[in-house]
Amino acid sequence: MDLDPAHLRSFLAIVRYGGYHRAADALHLTQPAVSRHIRRLEEQLGEPLFARRGRGVELTGYGERAAGEQVAQLAAHDQTVARLQQAGSGGGPFVLGAIENIVDPILPDMLAAMREELPERTLQLRVDRSLQLVDGVARGEVDAAIVSDAGDARGALEVGALTLRWWATPALAALDRPPDPLPLVAYDPPCGLRERALQRLEDVGLGYELAAESPHLTGVQAAARNGLGYALLAAGGDGLRRVAQGPLAEPVVAPLWLVLRPEHAALATPLKAALWRATARRSLPAAA
């Protein structure tokens, strides 16, 4: 029996992200496509992998065993493919991943460091969510990534910090105290920045109502710019003003992590230095 790696990837994404819809978003697939993958897997294996639980799903006993078996199998498959691709293309491009909140501030310095350290390799940039980039490193699709949430990545290094502030339209930002419950604009889950926003609201004693959510920075900024609510971001963009008074005036500092493929461990020092140069000159605080 040959199990399609794409079907296994869909299965493990549902396990990791807690549902079909989130798994589809993470894999950049439609939900019906993910559902087809699971049906085909269950047909091949002859056992159900998930059981309905309210509006969601949970693993069956068989599904739990299958998940444990398939994580290692899929990782080995992806690593083999990545090694063969690199060997067949003279090394292939060096793929640098970054979360979209920090691309503009750090990109020139990071690319300059990569060109100096790996002059024989072409460079490729991948902008994505933290967990997708961490997964990409584990699968061999990304060589190095700067993320705000390293998850359970082995050897992740804390290399700096990202200063987050609350942003809204000028009218909302000018209020002495934001409304309670606060209309919140956030990334959709799973997202470390979203969790930090919720934690800060809890810390200052504000309730919230989810006004809008998006998987991308542009969507979050657009919703806030159109007056739907407040967003916790590294930068606001056109039409937004930073909240400078009241309980949301204090910034939220989130650590930045460097995740590397094991064979690129020697790049940790020059990448950290490049990030320090970027943060020293721009709005990000200095790297640790």
Domain locations in the chain as residue ranges: 5-86, 91-160+254-281, 161-253
What's the chain's average pLDDT?
84
Q: What angle do CA 93, 96, 98 make, to 5 degrees?
A: 155
pLDDT band at 148 (very low <50, low <70, confident <90, very high): confident
User: What radius of gyration do the chain's Cα atoms show?
Assistant: 21
Answer yes or no: is pLDDT of 4 > 80: yes
Q: Do domains 91-160+254-281 and 161-253 have the same CATH topology?
A: yes
178, two tokens: 């934001």
Mean pLDDT of 189-200: 89
Top-level class of domain 161-253: alpha beta
The set of long-range contacts for 261-268, using a CB threshold of 8 Å and a minimum separation of 24, is 261/137, 261/140, 261/142, 261/143, 261/144, 262/155, 264/143, 264/144, 265/155, 267/117, 267/144, 268/157
CATH for 91-160+254-281 is 3.40.190.10
Note the pTM of the prediction, 2 decimals. 0.64
Fold (CATH) for 5-86: Arc Repressor Mutant, subunit A (1.10.10)
Q: Which of 4-8, 23-27, 241-245 has the lowest mean pLDDT?
A: 23-27
More confident residue, 269 or 54: 269
Q: Which of 218, 215, 220 is nearest to 183 (CA)?
A: 220
Answer yes or no: is pLDDT of 280 > 50: yes
List CB contacts of 87: < 8 A, sequence separation 6 or more.
Answer: none
* pLDDT digit string, tens, across residues 216-270: 888 899 899 999 999 999 887 788 999 999 999 999 998 889 999 888 888 888 8
More confident residue, 1 or 122: 122
Name the 3-class secondary structure at 123: strand
Q: Which of 43-57, 191-205, 236-250 has the lowest mean pLDDT?
A: 43-57
| Residue tagged 């993958």 (tokens) | 37
Provide the pLDDT for residue 104: 66
